[in-house]
Amino acid sequence: MDSAQYAELFLTESREHVSAINHSLLELERGVGGDEPVGAIFRGVHTIKGMSATMGYTAVASLSHELETLLDVVRRGGSTVDARLMDLLFRAADLLERAIESAVSGVDAVDVLPMIHQLQSEAGRDSQTFLSMAMTAELPVPGMGMGMTAEMPIPGAWTAAVPAGPGMLVRVRIVEGTPLKGVRAFLAVEAAKKLGEVGEVSPPVEALQADAFDHDFALRLTTELSRDDVIAALRRAGDVDEVSADDAAVSAPLVEAPAPTKATNGSSGNGGNGATNGGAVRQQRSVRIDLRRLDNLMNLIGELVITRGRLVQLTGPVDDPALAETVAQTSRPVWQVFDRFPRLVRDAARSVGKPVEFTIEGKEVELDRSMLDEVGDPIVHLLRNAIDHGIESPEVRREQGKPESGRLTLSASRDRSAVAIRVTDDGRGIDREKVLQRAREHGLIDASKTELTDEELFRIISQAGFSTADKVTDLSGRGVGIDAVHNRVRSLGGSVDIRTAPGKGTTVTLRLPLTLAIVRSLLARIGDETYAIPMTHVSETVELHPQIMHTLKGREVLMIREQVLPLIRLRQLLHYEGDATRGLEQVVVVEMAERRAALVVDALIGQQEVVVKQFDGVQNGLTLFGGATILGDGAPALIIDVSSLL
């Protein structure tokens, strides 16, 4: 069979296991969950071992075998879980991950031998590598088990001692190189037991089970069956090379032999046979689908949504949950990305010598698959920033009366049709003075400015290359911080918001749309054109009555429930000539990350799901729009990028 076709499956599944292993290692280190973490790590490593051996990935198989052996020792309480052991396990897990990647890609071969030796000496065994036996089940297994390996057997010769006692002398030779030949021999003995009374077995069954024999064994069998029948029956035990049954040795009187027992297995009469399980077993099936197919499906669904829009215009509203379900299929729970962060935070915190308590909230919140892939890096940036710059050293924290361990929280929550991802630390907060000073040095702001609002602060630190770090560390401070995060998130149609308080900490919020492709939008008209405003950002609509309009510092504002909102006239912004023709203009209150504005349009048309088509190349001046869509009547509409207005 061509193993290559399984490589992708192997990689996906192994990655999941490595992620789970890391998760359990962290639990083990923290001492939570009792025996379960070790058991879980053991199972994960064991599964990887089986898969990699099947794939012929020797390095991965040997490494996981040794790791498994050590874990078994740990599981049985033979090794204390201390910092040194944890360090070894973490390093082994890292190497395992690299070995998996390199085995599949075929590049950067990883040398696993040093680690194998370390694992072996930790497990307290002499160096006997799995390498020789792991791959080719066809090869003989050298020196496994205990003793009895001294002499080379002469091919074809029976080596087992003749067992004493009455009955037919039966000799069985297991095919050389049979994996787990001891179990195979055990099966043959079991098969013999069904033929009659088995007397002495040589070597004894216990030795056979432990593989401590040289391919052949002998037993005494008292049976009524003929020699040929016995041979035929034992051959069927599988992997039997040769069977001999020696009638001449039959000296015991056959009459005393018990009747051959019927080949029933196990106990009968245990309740439950008759009672068929009437209750339906709930089946949960999952399938793995090629991403390209899924993307194609999404495109087709997009077309369907457009067509539905057309139909709705003709016939009235339709609400089809099946459509929402299909869209949901492209969503994935955030833990698929979040799960690797505890390990990352641990390592990062260690490398700067700051104890950090890391918690993750809202793991089950779902996000569009393609977005989930993209959002990992920005979150890594934020976590590293928090550890490197946000959280103070234990000494400083103690002086300030804070707990020595810094608190770092990553949370995901559903927020209407958006997902909010927050990274919160309880560190020193962003130093406004320092930002102000750097900003002046770089000429980013007016030199006379002495204070920064949150918005200004955010705008400055979002600029490419801006860093207040005194020194560049391994982790961050290279000036690829917030600006990279901001760009990435914006390209996904999301927004970034920062709240920081000196001495108390910083919260960075990433707000992402649930899906990239289909957005529920409010359609508004200006002149003859239709514009779509994503509902994610619409908080309410009101009519533009003159009595709610005011002027503040020379700017038009709107007063809604004692809130002052800046007024943005889309008509002016888009350079339309003249005024709205009939009736009252409408106001769409848009919000994003706690910022709000009042958007004035000519008229409102209604809500519709629109399929976002991204612009191929964004040119200057198009920042106002996040894409375009085709409406039900076939007319195009531009989608307004609310973040650019605020």
Partner 1 sequence: MSNTVLICDDAIFMRTMVGDILQQAGFEIVGEAETGVQAVEKYKQLRPDLVTMDIVMPDMGGIDAVREITKFDPNAKVLMCSAMGQQALVVEAIQAGAKDFVVKPFQPSRVLEAVQRVLG
Pick the catalytic residue from 22, 65, 66, 68: 68
The least CB distance from residue 200 to partner 1, in Å, is: 19
Helix residue ranges per DSSP H, 31-144: 36-55, 58-75, 83-105, 113-122, 131-134
Alpha-carbon gap, residue 214 to 148, rounded angstroms: 7
- Name the nearest CA neighbour of 15 among 329, 336, 289: 336
**Residue 265: active-site member:** no
DSSP structure class, residue 578: S
The residue among 48 and 601 lying less far from partner 1, judged by its C-beta, is 48
Rounded to 10 degrees, the C-alpha dihedral 410/416/418/424 comes to -20
The least CB distance from residue 365 to partner 1, in Å, is: 24
The residue among 1 and 107 lying less far from partner 1, judged by its C-beta, is 1
**Residue 385: active-site member:** yes
The residue among 283 and 547 lying less far from partner 1, judged by its C-beta, is 283
The residue among 47 and 202 lying less far from partner 1, judged by its C-beta, is 47
Contacts with partner 1, residue ranges (CB under 8 A): 1, 6, 9-10, 13, 40, 42-43, 46-47, 49-51, 53-56, 65, 69, 130, 133-135, 137, 179-180, 182-183, 186-187, 190, 209-211, 236-238, 264-268, 270, 272-273, 276-277, 280-281, 288
Residue entry with tokens 């001449």: 248
The least CB distance from residue 391 to partner 1, in Å, is: 36
* Residues contacting 577, CB < 8 A, separation 6+: none
- Name the nearest CA neighbour of 612 among 545, 534, 522, 549: 534
Cα four-point dihedral sign 541, 546, 552, 554 = positive
The least CB distance from residue 245 to partner 1, in Å, is: 20
Pick the catalytic residue from 122, 385, 537, 609: 385
**Residue 442: active-site member:** no
The residue among 268 and 581 lying less far from partner 1, judged by its C-beta, is 268
The least CB distance from residue 129 to partner 1, in Å, is: 12
The residue among 13 and 29 lying less far from partner 1, judged by its C-beta, is 13
Alpha-carbon gap, residue 528 to 59, rounded angstroms: 67
Tokens for 535, please give them.
Answer: 């509902």
Instruction: Please state whether beta strands 529-534 and 636-640 pair in parallel, antiparallel, or not at all (unpaired).
Output: parallel
Pick the catalytic residue from 46, 101, 357, 591: 46
- Geometric angle at alpha carbon 229, from 225 and 233, rounded to 5°: 115
The least CB distance from residue 368 to partner 1, in Å, is: 23
Tokens for 261, please give them.
Answer: 């027992």
Whether 639 contacts 513, CB under 8 Å: no
Alpha-carbon gap, residue 567 to 596, rounded angstroms: 10
Tokens for 86, please give them.
Answer: 């944890």
Q: Which residues belong to the active site?
A: 46, 68, 385
